[in-house]
């Protein structure tokens, strides 16, 4: 048994979605990171927060500061858990680690500097003063956080794929009429306009008379209103296993985004890792955060957000199966060798040993 000192440390991981929750991406990401940290030998307890933590709530939660040696907070645009950083005042020896996935301004539609935005920025900057370390999910996000988060110890630990999730996934087609079709796949919540569902609709409209191509969109229709057509099928999010089995039908996957109006595109989309692990080529928008995963003409295709260009690349992949298969093979290899849980383990080990 490994007797390293850090093995005995107890960690509390607090997120905004962990068990049953409609935000599938946050839940999957949180569960994936908790599993990885547990695999390193830490004793991890995961909790989810669904309401805003106020300063007056901290006294009721004070025992957390003495029960755990490290408290990890999944910090994102919701701001739900930021206040828990003040547990450091109750027990100065507890280590507060932020895992930063976003900022509140990413949901704004106006570019004007409002009093609300100024308050949000000052609030996050203040709470960051109580952190011992900050994890960013991309280098671009870390760069954006300059002067918005203060912490001397910072590192980038990108989102990653869990190899175990993709073992022995069945192929599911029932009722979707996917047989003999070249499937163009997209999966996600579709909650925000920057997720560029409009580009998928436009591409499907251009290809409406091509009977060989079928668009398959997996999304929560309570968030997104999308019009189904003869070549565009919309399915509600199924179980994780069924989602991955539907993904196996894909000929190509889409990861298209508009730049949010108020922030750079600093996101690290989980869907791309799913696509890569499944061995599928991805047509993606050309953003730096996307380019950390997708290399043009190596494991996918980077495009400007032009529907005609997207259609041209879909047709190219349809008619060039050898090229398509090579991109998919490279994507799977990169996911396993560069972005899998086994690779990321070393980053967490190094960070926790330094606390």
What is the tally of structural domains in the chain? Answer: 2
Same domain membership, residue 331 and residue 291: yes
Same domain membership, residue 333 and residue 279: yes
How does DSSP assign 87-100, residue by residue?
HHHH-TTSEEEEEE
* Cα dihedral value 321, 317, 268, 186, nearest 10: -100
CATH number, position 129:
3.40.50.2000
* Cα dihedral value 70, 38, 237, 327, nearest 10: 110
Helices (H) and strands (E) in the chain, counts: 12, 12
Distance CA 58, CA 40 (A): 30
Same domain membership, residue 39 and residue 82: yes
Residues of the chain with pLDDT under 50: 1-3, 5-6
Same domain membership, residue 172 and residue 77: no
Q: What does the pLDDT read at residue 72? A: 98
Q: What does the pLDDT read at residue 261? A: 79
How many CB atoms are closer than 10 A to CB 19? Answer: 10
Q: What does the pLDDT read at residue 1? A: 40
Same domain membership, residue 225 and residue 97: no
Q: Are strands 182-187 and 95-100 parallel, antiparallel or unpaired?
A: unpaired
Same domain membership, residue 202 and residue 319: yes
Q: Is 184 exposed, middle or buried (0-12, 13-18, 19+ CB in 10 A)?
A: buried
Same domain membership, residue 186 and residue 145: no
**DSSP 8-state class, residue 234:** E
Could you tell me how far CA 196 lies from the centroid of its own chain?
Answer: 16
Same domain membership, residue 245 and residue 115: no
Same domain membership, residue 319 and residue 191: yes
Q: What does the pLDDT read at residue 5? A: 46
Q: Three-class SS of residue 17?
A: coil
Question: Do 305 and 285 touch, CB atoms closer than 8 A?
Answer: yes
Same domain membership, residue 127 and residue 173: no
Q: Which domain holds residue 135?
A: 5-160+340-353
Two tokens, residue 29: 């990401």
Same domain membership, residue 141 and residue 218: no
Same domain membership, residue 169 and residue 126: no
């Amino acid at each position: 048994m490994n007797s390293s000192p850090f093995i005995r440390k107890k960690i509390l991981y607090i997120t905004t979605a962990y068990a049953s929750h409609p935000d599938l991406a946050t839940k999957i990401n949180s569960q994936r990171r908790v599993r990885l940290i547990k695999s390193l030998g830490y004793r991890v307890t995961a909790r989810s927060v669904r309401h805003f933590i106020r300063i007056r709530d901290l006294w009721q939660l004070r025992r957390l500061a003495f029960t755990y040696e490290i408290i990890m907070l999944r910090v994102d645009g919701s701001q739900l858990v930021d206040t828990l950083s003040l547990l450091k005042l109750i027990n100065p020896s507890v280590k507060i680690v932020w895992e930063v996935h976003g900022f509140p301004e990413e949901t704004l539609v106006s570019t004007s500097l409002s009093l609300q935005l100024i308050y949000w920025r000052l609030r996050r900057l203040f709470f960051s003063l109580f952190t011992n370390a900050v994890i960013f999910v991309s280098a671009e996000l870390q760069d954006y956080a300059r002067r918005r988060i203060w912490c001397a110890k910072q590192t980038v630990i990108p989102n990653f794929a869990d190899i175990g999730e993709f073992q022995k996934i069945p192929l599911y087609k029932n009722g979707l009429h996917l047989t003999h079709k070249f499937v163009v796949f997209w999966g996600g919540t579709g909650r925000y306009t920057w997720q560029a569902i409009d580009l998928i609709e436009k591409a499907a409209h251009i290809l409406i008379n091509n009977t060989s191509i079928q668009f398959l969109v997996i999304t929560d229709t309570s968030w997104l209103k999308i019009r189904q057509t003869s070549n565009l099928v919309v399915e509600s999010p199924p179980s994780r296993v069924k989602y991955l089995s539907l993904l196996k039908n894909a000929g190509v996957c889409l990861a298209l985004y508009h730049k949010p109006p108020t922030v750079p595109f600093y996101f690290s989309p989980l869907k791309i890792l799913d696509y890569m692990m499944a061995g599928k080529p991805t047509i993606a928008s050309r953003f730096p955060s996307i380019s950390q995963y997708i290399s043009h003409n190596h494991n996918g295709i980077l495009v400007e957000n032009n529907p005609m260009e997207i259609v041209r690349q879909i047709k190219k992949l349809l008619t060039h199966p050898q090229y398509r298969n090579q991109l998919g093979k490279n994507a799977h290899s990169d996911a396993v060798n560069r972005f899998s849980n086994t690779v990321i383990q070393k980053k967490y080990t190094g960070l926790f040993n330094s606390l």
